[in-house]
A = this chain, B = another copy of it.
Protein backbone atom coordinates (compact mmCIF):
# COMPACT_ATOMS: atom_id res chain seq x y z
CA UNK A 1 0.00 0.00 0.00
CA UNK A 2 1.10 3.58 -0.52
CA UNK A 3 1.12 6.22 2.21
CA UNK A 4 -2.45 7.23 1.39
CA UNK A 5 -3.87 3.72 1.71
CA UNK A 6 -3.95 2.96 -1.99
CA UNK A 7 -3.35 -0.68 -2.90
CA UNK A 8 -0.27 -1.03 -5.11
CA UNK A 9 -0.32 -4.82 -5.30
CA UNK A 10 -2.10 -7.66 -3.52
CA UNK A 11 -1.68 -11.39 -3.16
CA UNK A 12 -3.52 -14.13 -1.23
CA UNK A 13 -2.00 -17.36 0.01
CA UNK A 14 -3.12 -20.24 2.22
CA UNK A 15 0.30 -20.45 3.87
CA UNK A 16 -0.31 -19.61 7.53
CA UNK A 17 0.17 -20.88 11.04
CA UNK A 18 -1.40 -24.26 10.40
CA UNK A 19 0.90 -25.16 7.51
CA UNK A 20 4.18 -23.24 7.96
CA UNK A 21 6.83 -25.05 10.00
CA UNK A 22 8.49 -23.30 12.95
CA UNK A 23 11.28 -21.10 11.64
CA UNK A 24 9.77 -20.94 8.16
CA UNK A 25 7.74 -17.75 8.48
CA UNK A 26 10.43 -15.31 7.31
CA UNK A 27 10.99 -17.28 4.11
CA UNK A 28 7.25 -17.49 3.39
CA UNK A 29 6.89 -13.72 3.82
CA UNK A 30 9.80 -13.00 1.48
CA UNK A 31 8.47 -15.43 -1.13
CA UNK A 32 5.05 -13.83 -1.09
CA UNK A 33 6.47 -10.32 -1.23
CA UNK A 34 8.78 -11.31 -4.09
CA UNK A 35 5.62 -12.29 -5.97
CA UNK A 36 4.48 -8.66 -5.53
CA UNK A 37 7.83 -7.15 -6.57
CA UNK A 38 7.90 -5.42 -3.18
CA UNK A 39 11.08 -3.37 -2.58
CA UNK A 40 13.43 -5.02 -0.04
CA UNK A 41 13.17 -2.12 2.38
CA UNK A 42 9.35 -2.02 2.45
CA UNK A 43 8.13 -2.59 6.01
CA UNK A 44 5.61 -5.36 6.69
CA UNK A 45 2.86 -5.12 9.34
CA UNK A 46 1.15 -8.39 10.20
CA UNK A 47 -1.95 -9.31 12.18
CA UNK A 48 -3.47 -12.66 13.05
CA UNK A 49 -2.10 -16.04 13.97
CA UNK A 50 1.51 -15.14 13.12
CA UNK A 51 1.49 -13.73 16.65
CA UNK A 52 0.16 -16.92 18.27
CA UNK A 53 2.25 -19.29 20.35
CA UNK A 54 2.53 -21.65 17.36
CA UNK A 55 3.11 -18.74 14.96
CA UNK A 56 6.16 -16.70 13.97
CA UNK A 57 6.61 -15.01 17.33
CA UNK A 58 4.21 -14.95 20.26
CA UNK A 59 2.88 -11.44 20.78
CA UNK A 60 1.14 -11.02 24.16
CA UNK A 61 -2.58 -10.27 24.00
CA UNK A 62 -3.83 -6.82 24.92
CA UNK A 63 -6.37 -6.90 27.74
CA UNK A 64 -9.80 -5.27 27.57
CA UNK A 65 -10.80 -2.52 27.28
CA UNK A 66 -8.50 -2.21 24.26
CA UNK A 67 -8.39 1.06 22.35
CA UNK A 68 -8.79 0.53 18.61
CA UNK A 69 -6.73 3.57 17.63
CA UNK A 70 -3.55 2.22 19.16
CA UNK A 71 -3.25 -1.52 18.65
CA UNK A 72 0.31 -0.80 17.57
CA UNK A 73 1.31 -0.17 21.17
CA UNK A 74 1.36 -3.94 21.69
CA UNK A 75 3.19 -4.80 18.45
CA UNK A 76 6.52 -6.60 18.45
CA UNK A 77 9.29 -6.04 15.91
CA UNK A 78 10.93 -9.16 14.50
CA UNK A 79 14.70 -9.04 15.00
CA UNK A 80 16.95 -10.01 12.15
CA UNK A 81 14.30 -10.09 9.44
CA UNK A 82 15.23 -9.04 5.89
CA UNK A 83 13.07 -5.92 6.28
CA UNK A 84 11.22 -4.15 9.11
CA UNK A 85 8.52 -6.59 10.25
CA UNK A 86 5.96 -5.94 12.97
CA UNK A 87 3.33 -8.31 14.35
CA UNK A 88 0.25 -6.80 15.99
CA UNK A 89 -1.20 -8.18 19.22
CA UNK A 90 -4.48 -9.99 19.63
CA UNK A 91 -7.02 -9.29 22.36
CA UNK A 92 -7.81 -11.34 25.46
CA UNK A 93 -10.94 -11.22 27.58
CA UNK A 94 -9.96 -12.82 30.85
CA UNK A 95 -13.34 -12.83 32.61
CA UNK A 96 -13.68 -16.22 34.31
CA UNK A 97 -17.24 -16.71 33.01
CA UNK A 98 -16.42 -16.04 29.38
CA UNK A 99 -12.71 -16.22 28.63
CA UNK A 100 -12.08 -15.42 24.99
CA UNK A 101 -9.32 -14.51 22.57
CA UNK A 102 -8.94 -13.05 19.10
CA UNK A 103 -6.00 -12.53 16.74
CA UNK A 104 -6.55 -10.59 13.54
CA UNK A 105 -10.16 -9.58 14.08
CA UNK A 106 -9.07 -6.68 16.34
CA UNK A 107 -7.29 -5.18 13.33
CA UNK A 108 -10.37 -5.68 11.15
CA UNK A 109 -12.54 -4.08 13.82
CA UNK A 110 -10.18 -1.11 14.07
CA UNK A 111 -10.26 -0.68 10.31
CA UNK A 112 -14.01 -1.17 10.07
CA UNK A 113 -14.60 1.34 12.88
CA UNK A 114 -12.49 3.83 10.97
CA UNK A 115 -14.19 3.14 7.63
CA UNK A 116 -17.69 3.26 9.17
CA UNK A 117 -16.86 6.16 11.52
CA UNK A 118 -18.28 4.01 14.31
CA UNK A 119 -17.07 4.53 17.85
CA UNK A 120 -19.84 2.74 19.75
CA UNK A 121 -21.33 -0.26 18.02
CA UNK A 122 -21.64 -4.01 17.91
CA UNK A 123 -19.33 -5.59 15.34
CA UNK A 124 -19.98 -8.99 13.72
CA UNK A 125 -17.13 -10.77 11.96
CA UNK A 126 -18.53 -14.06 10.67
CA UNK A 127 -16.36 -17.00 9.72
CA UNK A 128 -14.72 -20.17 11.00
CA UNK A 129 -14.74 -18.62 14.45
CA UNK A 130 -17.32 -15.83 14.26
CA UNK A 131 -16.54 -12.89 16.52
CA UNK A 132 -19.06 -10.48 17.99
CA UNK A 133 -17.48 -7.48 19.70
CA UNK A 134 -18.84 -4.53 21.62
CA UNK A 135 -17.05 -1.24 21.02
CA UNK A 136 -17.59 1.66 23.36
CA UNK A 137 -15.79 5.02 23.23
CA UNK A 138 -13.38 3.67 20.63
CA UNK A 139 -12.34 0.61 22.67
CA UNK A 140 -13.29 -3.06 22.54
CA UNK A 141 -15.01 -3.73 25.86
CA UNK A 142 -16.15 -7.33 25.33
CA UNK A 143 -16.44 -10.03 22.72
CA UNK A 144 -17.65 -13.59 22.10
CA UNK A 145 -16.51 -16.24 19.67
CA UNK A 146 -18.94 -18.66 18.02
CA UNK A 147 -17.70 -21.91 16.50
CA UNK A 148 -20.17 -21.54 13.63
CA UNK A 149 -18.00 -21.96 10.55
CA UNK A 150 -15.80 -24.64 12.07
CA UNK A 151 -18.91 -26.58 13.14
CA UNK A 152 -20.28 -26.42 9.58
CA UNK A 153 -17.03 -27.84 8.20
CA UNK A 154 -16.72 -30.50 10.93
CA UNK A 155 -20.27 -31.73 10.47
CA UNK A 156 -19.96 -31.78 6.67
CA UNK A 157 -16.67 -33.65 6.71
CA UNK A 158 -16.73 -35.97 9.70
CA UNK A 159 -20.22 -36.49 11.13
CA UNK A 160 -23.22 -38.66 10.25
CA UNK A 161 -24.38 -35.64 8.24
CA UNK A 162 -21.60 -36.22 5.70
CA UNK A 163 -23.94 -38.75 4.07
CA UNK A 164 -26.65 -36.07 3.88
CA UNK A 165 -24.60 -33.20 2.44
CA UNK A 166 -22.21 -35.18 0.22
CA UNK A 167 -19.90 -32.67 -1.41
CA UNK A 168 -22.34 -29.75 -1.17
CA UNK A 169 -20.86 -26.77 0.64
CA UNK A 170 -22.27 -23.75 -1.22
CA UNK A 171 -25.44 -22.35 0.30
CA UNK A 172 -27.69 -19.89 -1.50
CA UNK A 173 -29.14 -17.25 0.81
CA UNK A 174 -32.46 -17.39 -1.02
CA UNK A 175 -32.82 -21.17 -0.64
CA UNK A 176 -36.12 -21.61 1.25
CA UNK A 177 -34.61 -24.47 3.25
CA UNK A 178 -31.84 -22.17 4.53
CA UNK A 179 -34.38 -19.50 5.46
CA UNK A 180 -36.81 -21.94 7.09
CA UNK A 181 -34.11 -23.54 9.23
CA UNK A 182 -32.65 -20.16 10.09
CA UNK A 183 -36.03 -18.91 11.35
CA UNK A 184 -36.68 -22.17 13.15
CA UNK A 185 -33.44 -21.86 15.11
CA UNK A 186 -33.93 -18.16 15.79
CA UNK A 187 -37.20 -19.19 17.46
CA UNK A 188 -35.84 -22.32 19.23
CA UNK A 189 -32.06 -22.05 19.53
CA UNK A 190 -31.87 -24.52 22.39
CA UNK A 191 -32.70 -27.58 20.29
CA UNK A 192 -29.70 -27.19 17.99
CA UNK A 193 -28.26 -30.64 18.78
CA UNK A 194 -31.56 -32.25 17.84
CA UNK A 195 -32.25 -30.16 14.74
CA UNK A 196 -28.88 -31.22 13.34
CA UNK A 197 -29.89 -34.88 13.43
CA UNK A 198 -33.20 -34.03 11.79
CA UNK A 199 -31.24 -33.18 8.64
CA UNK A 200 -30.10 -36.79 8.46
CA UNK A 201 -33.62 -38.03 9.10
CA UNK A 202 -35.09 -35.71 6.46
CA UNK A 203 -32.64 -37.20 3.97
CA UNK A 204 -33.72 -40.74 4.84
CA UNK A 205 -37.46 -40.12 5.11
CA UNK A 206 -38.20 -37.23 2.76
CA UNK A 207 -35.39 -37.33 0.22
CA UNK A 208 -33.86 -33.99 1.27
CA UNK A 209 -31.25 -33.18 -1.40
CA UNK A 210 -27.56 -32.67 -0.61
CA UNK A 211 -27.83 -29.00 -1.57
CA UNK A 212 -30.78 -28.54 0.77
CA UNK A 213 -29.08 -30.51 3.55
CA UNK A 214 -26.09 -28.14 3.43
CA UNK A 215 -28.51 -25.20 3.41
CA UNK A 216 -30.37 -26.61 6.42
CA UNK A 217 -27.12 -27.10 8.33
CA UNK A 218 -25.98 -23.57 7.58
CA UNK A 219 -29.38 -22.17 8.57
CA UNK A 220 -29.34 -23.94 11.92
CA UNK A 221 -25.79 -22.91 12.78
CA UNK A 222 -26.00 -19.27 11.71
CA UNK A 223 -29.43 -19.10 13.35
CA UNK A 224 -28.00 -20.38 16.63
CA UNK A 225 -25.24 -17.77 16.53
CA UNK A 226 -27.58 -14.88 15.79
CA UNK A 227 -30.15 -16.02 18.36
CA UNK A 228 -27.53 -16.14 21.11
CA UNK A 229 -26.21 -12.70 20.27
CA UNK A 230 -29.65 -11.17 19.84
CA UNK A 231 -30.68 -12.29 23.32
CA UNK A 232 -27.68 -10.39 24.69
CA UNK A 233 -27.82 -7.18 22.64
CA UNK A 234 -29.06 -4.09 24.36
CA UNK A 235 -32.14 -4.07 22.17
CA UNK A 236 -31.67 -0.34 21.67
CA UNK A 237 -31.92 -0.62 17.92
CA UNK A 238 -28.28 0.28 17.37
CA UNK A 239 -26.78 -0.88 14.12
CA UNK A 240 -24.54 -3.94 13.84
CA UNK A 241 -21.42 -3.40 11.75
CA UNK A 242 -21.12 -6.58 9.66
CA UNK A 243 -17.49 -7.04 8.59
CA UNK A 244 -17.41 -9.71 5.90
CA UNK A 245 -16.44 -10.56 2.35
CA UNK A 246 -17.48 -13.14 -0.20
CA UNK A 247 -20.05 -15.93 -0.09
CA UNK A 248 -20.78 -15.51 3.61
CA UNK A 249 -22.15 -11.97 3.15
CA UNK A 250 -25.62 -12.80 1.75
CA UNK A 251 -26.08 -15.55 4.37
CA UNK A 252 -25.44 -13.17 7.25
CA UNK A 253 -27.44 -10.40 5.61
CA UNK A 254 -30.39 -12.82 5.41
CA UNK A 255 -29.85 -13.75 9.06
CA UNK A 256 -29.73 -10.10 10.18
CA UNK A 257 -32.94 -9.45 8.30
CA UNK A 258 -34.67 -12.53 9.69
CA UNK A 259 -33.71 -11.43 13.20
CA UNK A 260 -34.72 -7.81 12.58
CA UNK A 261 -31.22 -6.61 13.40
CA UNK A 262 -30.32 -3.38 11.61
CA UNK A 263 -26.82 -3.63 10.12
CA UNK A 264 -24.43 -2.00 7.75
CA UNK A 265 -21.83 -3.91 5.79
CA UNK A 266 -18.11 -3.12 5.71
CA UNK A 267 -15.99 -5.21 3.36
CA UNK A 268 -13.62 -7.31 5.46
CA UNK A 269 -10.70 -6.85 3.06
CA UNK A 270 -11.12 -3.10 3.13
CA UNK A 271 -11.34 -3.23 6.92
CA UNK A 272 -8.15 -5.21 7.48
CA UNK A 273 -6.18 -2.97 5.10
CA UNK A 274 -7.43 0.12 6.96
CA UNK A 275 -6.50 -1.39 10.32
CA UNK A 276 -3.04 -2.44 9.17
CA UNK A 277 -2.36 0.94 7.56
CA UNK A 278 -3.35 2.73 10.75
CA UNK A 279 -0.95 0.55 12.73
CA UNK A 280 1.80 1.08 10.16
CA UNK A 281 1.46 4.85 10.47
CA UNK A 282 2.01 4.61 14.22
CA UNK A 283 4.85 2.09 14.00
CA UNK A 284 6.71 3.85 11.19
CA UNK A 285 6.22 7.45 12.30
CA UNK A 286 9.49 9.34 12.78
CA UNK A 287 10.38 9.14 16.43
CA UNK A 288 9.98 12.49 18.14
Contact = CB atoms under 8 A, between A and B. Distances in A.
Interface of A: 53, 61, 92-94, 96-101, 129, 144-148, 150-151, 154-155, 157-160, 184, 189-194, 196-198, 200-202, 204-206, 221, 224-225, 227-228, 231
3 nearest CB pairs, A to B = A145-B197, A99-B201, A189-B190
B225 A193 contact: yes
A26 B284 CA distance: 74
Contacts of A189: 189-190
A11 to B, nearest CB: 26
A203 to B, nearest CB: 9
A160 B155 contact: no
Interface of A is mostly: helix
A47 to B, nearest CB: 17
Contacts of A202: 99
B94 A205 contact: yes
Contacts of A201: 92-93, 99-101, 145
6 contacts: A92-B201, A92-B205, A96-B206, A146-B193, A147-B159, A151-B159
